[in-house]
Amino acid sequence: EDQVTQSPEALRLQEGESSSLNCSYTVSGLRGLFWYRQDPGKGPEFLFTLYSAGEEKEKERLKATLTKKESFLHITAPKPEDSATYLCAVQAPRNTDKLIFGTGTRLQVFP
């Protein structure tokens, strides 16, 4: 069964304290791995799509990387406005384009 596991569940950082969020996945034939940011009471906001092992993408203080088993979202020198839940999702293979989501990592950045 296709599965996505995110860790840690929650992360508290001091402003400027860099860290990484993990997304482990089990899927036969990954078509794409997505990172989203979700603020309370809002819909997921697209950050990145990664398609193949070794791929990396960056946006401001965020950098996403992908291996054959997991993806990392690295946050460099975070600011309080980076506080949100970060969701990982995989696109299942063949004849389907639905996304399978993990439970997310709730990030809090304190000044």
Contacts to other proteins by CB under 8 A: 32, 34, 36, 41-46, 49, 87, 89, 96-104
Between 45 and 56, name the residue whose CB sits nearer to other proteins.
45
Between 2 and 17, name the residue whose CB sits nearer to other proteins.
2
**CA 21 to centroid of chain Cα atoms:** 7
Dist. CA 8–CA 99, nearest whole Å: 21
Between 34 and 78, name the residue whose CB sits nearer to other proteins.
34
Q: Give the nearest distance from C-beta 1 to other proteins in angstroms.
A: 13
Dist. CA 84–CA 69, nearest whole Å: 24
Dist. CA 17–CA 62, nearest whole Å: 13
